[in-house]
Structure 1
Amino acid sequence: MLDVKLFGTPTLSNDGAQIGMSCRKAWSLIAIVAAGGGRPVARSRIAGQLWPDMDEERARRALSTTLWRLGKLISRHDIREDGLLRSDALWISLAPGAGCDLRDFRMSLEAAEVGGGHECLERAVALHAADLLPEEDHSWTNLERESVRALLVSALDKLLAYYESARDHQNCLRIGQRLVAIEPYLEHAHRTLIWAYGGTGERAAAARQFGRCAKLLKSELGLEPMPETVAAYAQALGVGTSESTLLRLAPAPAPGARPVGAIARLREHLQGAQSALDELGRA
């Protein structure tokens, strides 16, 4: 069985034996077809995306040449020329028996949308082992890479919410760590990790996660953690969530900096109240 891997360094293999392919346009051609999620893709669309600087006729000829070269390559390994891609005058699709991680990634996400559940999301995120064709740098590949990355983030986010609602701390840690590695500014993902570390008794890890979150928010966005994040931290440490506790745990603003966010406003409010009490005590 032919199998194509497009996440990370691309590979083409037949029953586990790798087939060398140096034509970079062929990899992009396979990726465009695979991105259709199992549906045929118009030849005119593929030609325009792979050769945007050519007129339509020249782009179509270049596409036909690339298809011919790809067919000849796989036929040298005792595979039918159409064993990977099937084409006619208008459409190109992946051959039914060929495997492809990008196509399966998109199909798994589609299945999840129509009731496939978290198992389909798990399959999708497992398939995304690395960025799509990371060494390719042209407009279609760059756009598809970002599109796939956004789909991965969305799938991880849904899985994190699912496991949090199921109070599954270990899976929250597994998914949450991967999510914040990709999107480090998602405060709710840090918050879930803090909660999950607390649930497994790893208070030191919860403290480190809160520290990383607070540092990122402050250094990159000029923000403080939300009250919900500070509360999750307090719960992970087992110290309660009273206002005085939250105030003590919330990171203090830098000297001379204007406080930002709800916790900062809480700090100002409590500090103001304390100042008023001190004045009354001196009266």
Structure 2
Amino acid sequence: MSAWPGHVQPLIRLLGECRIGTAARPGRLVYRKGWALLAYLAIERPRVHRRSRIAAMLWPDLPHGAALTNLRQVLTDLNRAIVAAAGEGVLLIDRESVRLCPDASQGLFDIDLLEPALPAGDRTREWLGEAGELLEGVSLEQCDEFCEWLPGARTWARQRLLKALERARDAATAAGDVEHALGLARRLTVLDPWDEAQHRSLLALYLRLGETGLALSWYRSLERGLRRELAVEPHPATRALGMEIERRIARVSQPMPTSRAWDRISVAAMA
């Protein structure tokens, strides 16, 4: 399997709503902890993990034998779904350990496709507009070790996602695909709502499309949010862009001179 497979969408999504397979052939996992385990194995590649340790992490309140039995069931279900989506040899399981094959699994996951090496302008990356938090909606309250691991993993994934979205937005803008760039820019403001640089990029795209009214509404909403939530004023660069938007709207809104006014202007010009 090549490092960057040619399928349009990642076969396994961990960012936002967790999914496995394709739209035509969607897969499913029976066990919620299967997603937690899959994300852990994907981020911790190429480490080999002892099954006893994984069982203790995911079922800390159960006796050792019962935890291993639960893990065996989750692994069987997980391997079934992965084989159906991507083939054999991705999830490597033996009596003592479990891991993802670094080569066979590379490029199957959405987190793999955040690499700078993948061309940012590739339209196969439209899935970025749907990407969100790692294991969105998944929580294992009674699993302390996993809960300690998850926030750091989410921060790692979020930083990579933001950078990938920025590269894709800038590439789409440079290619003249402003509508696509606008969608990515909106996604960035959702994921990072108080980063004014992201909002400025979005406002600039609105202006490029001639959508000054939408730009002004967005700016004023940002201004109100900053004051209400953070008790701060917009950054000078953001404020300057807001003033430019207001000037453009004012120019468009000015009434056209009457014929008599044009005569006065013409006389003054010739004086």
Aligned residues: 231
Aligned counterpart, 1:25? 33
Work out whether residues 74 and 81 of structure 1, in 8 Å CA contact, stay in contact via their aligned partners in 2.
no
CA distance, structure 1, for counterparts of residue 237 and residue 196 of structure 2 = 10
Map of 2:256 onto structure 1: none
Structure-1 separation of matches of 2:129 and 2:203: 27
Could you tell me how far apart the structure 2 residues matched to 1:12 and 1:160 are?
26
Match of 2:262 in 1: none
Contact 2:206 2:215 in 1 (8 A): yes
Determine which of 214, 219, 224 is the counterpart of 2:223: 214
Unaligned runs of 5+ in 2: 1-6, 249-271
Give 1:177 shift. Answer: 0.9
Is residue 8–residue 130 contact of structure 1 (8 Å, CA) maintained in 2?
A: yes
Contact 1:8/1:129 (8 A) holds in 2: yes
- Residues 66-112 of structure 1 show CA distances to partners (whole Å, capped at 9, x for unaligned) of 324555x569x999996652223344115966798xx53222223x1
Q: 1:154 to 1:201 in 2, by over 3 A?
A: same
Task: With the length of structure 1 as denominator, give the TM-score of the two structures.
Answer: 0.61
Give the direction of change, closer, same or farther, for the CA distance of 1:214–1:11 in structure 2 (3 Å limit).
closer
Q: Given the superposition, is the C-alpha separation of residues 34 and 231 from structure 1 closer, same or farther in structure 2, using an over 3 Å criterion?
A: same
Cα deviation digits, residues 214-251 of structure 1 (max 9, x gap): 11111111111122112222334455xxxxxxxxxxxx
2:164 — aligned with what?
155
**Root-mean-square deviation over aligned CA pairs:** 4.4
Q: Deviations over 1:188-237 (max 9, x none)?
A: 11112222222222111111111011111111111111221122223344
1:66 counterpart residue number: 74
C-alpha separation in 2, matches of 1:49 and 1:5: 23
1:64, CA displacement in angstroms?
3.8
1:199 paired residue among 208, 211, 236 = 208
Structure 1 residues 205 and 80, CA gap change in structure 2 (3 angstroms): closer
Q: Secondary structure at the match of 1:92?
A: strand
Between 167-176 and 223-232, the greater mean CA deviation after superposition: 167-176
Q: How much has 1:14 moved relative to structure 2?
A: 8.5
In the other structure, the counterpart of 1:118 is 120
Distance of aligned partners of 1:16 and 1:197 in 2 relative to their CA distance in 1, 3 Å threshold: closer
Structure 1 SS opposite 2:109: helix
TM-score by length of 2: 0.63
Please say if residues 195 and 235 of structure 1, whose CA atoms lie closer than 8 Å, have aligned partners that are also in contact: no
What are the residue-to-residue correspondences of 1:129-168 with 2, within 5 Å?
129-138=131-140, 140=146, 142-143=150-151, 144-160=153-169
Report the equivalent of 1:244. none
Aligned position for 1:85: 91
Contact 2:121 2:172 in 1 (8 A): no
Cα distance in 1 between the residues matched to 2:120 and 2:21: 29
Structure 1 unmatched runs, 5+: 240-283
- Work out whether residues 169 and 196 of structure 1, in 8 Å CA contact, stay in contact via their aligned partners in 2: yes
Aligned residue identity for 1:109: L
Higher relative contact order (CA 8 A, sep 6+): 2
Residue 119 (structure 2) pairs with residue 107 (structure 1): no
Give the C-alpha shift of residue 153 in structure 1.
2.5
The one-letter amino acid of 1:126's match is L
Distance 1:231 1:123 in 2: 33
